[in-house]
Amino acid sequence: MYAMVAPPDNDVLQARSLHCSPGGFPALTGVSLGVREGDILAVLGPRGSGKTTLLRCLSGQQVPHEGEVWFDGHPIHTLSAARRERLRADSFAWVGAEPSLVPELSGWENAALPLLLRGTPHRAARAAAMDWLERLDVADCARARPDRMPRDQRQRIAVARALAAAPTVLFADEPTAALHAGDRTHVLRTLTTAARSHHITVVLASVDEEAAEFADRAVRLVDGRRADSATGSDEGQEACSLSV
Ligand SMILES: Nc1ncnc2c1ncn2[C@@H]1O[C@H](COP(=O)(O)OP(=O)(O)OP(=O)(O)O)[C@@H](O)[C@H]1O
């Protein structure tokens, strides 16, 4: 064991020697990495390599069985479930492969939902949501219900919802997996361009090497371990001074 030491100032997120076995399967076996503020980090690897489990640990949805996760200079693996929930609502956004929209709400209401839940006035939340729907080319879906939209439009609204919330970190887990090739590139480009212009840090998981083209850095996982460099193995405290 080693004493908990805060990560370097320019790392907004840091994982140290994560071990995690959801459902008893060793999905992560000693993963360390740092994510610099404002960076777009691609987490690449084949199916089953541990990408989703890593993003779930970094975002506080899953507590690692061993190791540490730090956000903004504070450990989050030691927080209560309620405090992790609060952190996720205030600072993080998540886009998965399947758009998970509220079926009873229209396109703009879905995109505005995190802002409305935070108490943003209705008019301001609507304006922000509409702005993002326009950037993602789905403004004409603003009044439609999700069951009236094709999947790629629902996914664009899910991306708009994540960006409208102005998170510190956006976790995108295979955000374009369910889209056609042309849509994939457009959604990834829009997501990463918007994140850069709003200084949102992005952790982008993908099986597709193309995702690295949109990122500042990439790490690669194979069988729950870093496969890209010596910094990725079970290095414990040395990780404190390393970014990616
Ligand atoms: N709750 C769970 N119960 C059992 N096994 C799990 C659980 N969660 C993850 N695993 C296993 O851990 C391994 C890593 O899964 P994970 O979803 O993190 O990988 P991934 O790289 O995101 O893959 P995919 O693209 O298929 O989602 C896989 O073998 C998966 O079956």
Domains delineated in the chain: 11-241 (3.40.50.300)
Q: What is the mean pLDDT of residues 88-113?
A: 95
Whether the predicted pLDDT of 229 surpasses 70: no
| pLDDT above 60 for 222 | yes
pLDDT-based confidence at 1, cuts 50/70/90?
very low
Q: In angstroms, rounded to a whole number, what is the distance separating the alpha carbons of residues 9 and 23?
A: 34
Q: How far is the CA of 107 from the centre of ligand 1 (A)?
A: 31
The mean per-residue pLDDT over the stretch 190-195 comes to 92
Cα(34)–Cα(200) distance, rounded to whole angstroms? Answer: 15
Give the per-residue pLDDT at 231: 44
- What's the rounded Cα separation, in Å, for the pair 191 and 137? 12
pLDDT over 70 at 102, yes or no: yes
Is any ligand 1 atom within 6 A of the Cβ of residue 2?
no
Q: In this model, does residue 216 exceed pLDDT 60?
A: yes
Q: Of all atoms in ligand 1, which is nearest to the CA of residue 221? A: 21
pLDDT-based confidence at 180, cuts 50/70/90? confident
pLDDT at site 234: 37
- The answer to whether the CB of 25 is under 6 A from ligand 1 is yes
Asked if residue 14 has pLDDT above 70, the reply is: yes
What is the enclosing helix (H) or strand (E) of 35? strand 28-36
What is the dihedral sign for C-alpha 129, 103, 162, 98? negative
In angstroms, the CA 64 to CA 40 distance is: 23
Residue of 214 and 240 predicted with greater confidence = 214
Cα 160 versus chain centre, distance: 14
Q: What is the pLDDT at residue 230?
A: 45
Answer whether 27 contacts ligand 1 (Cβ < 6 A): yes
Give yes or no for residue 187 having a pLDDT over 90: no
Ligand 1, atom 23, residue with closest C-alpha: 48
Q: Which two tokens stand for residue 75?
A: 């450990």
**Nearest-CA residue for atom 4 of ligand 1:** 23
- Average pLDDT over the chain reads 90
47 lines ligand 1 (CB under 6 A): yes
**CB 52 near ligand 1, within 6 Å:** yes
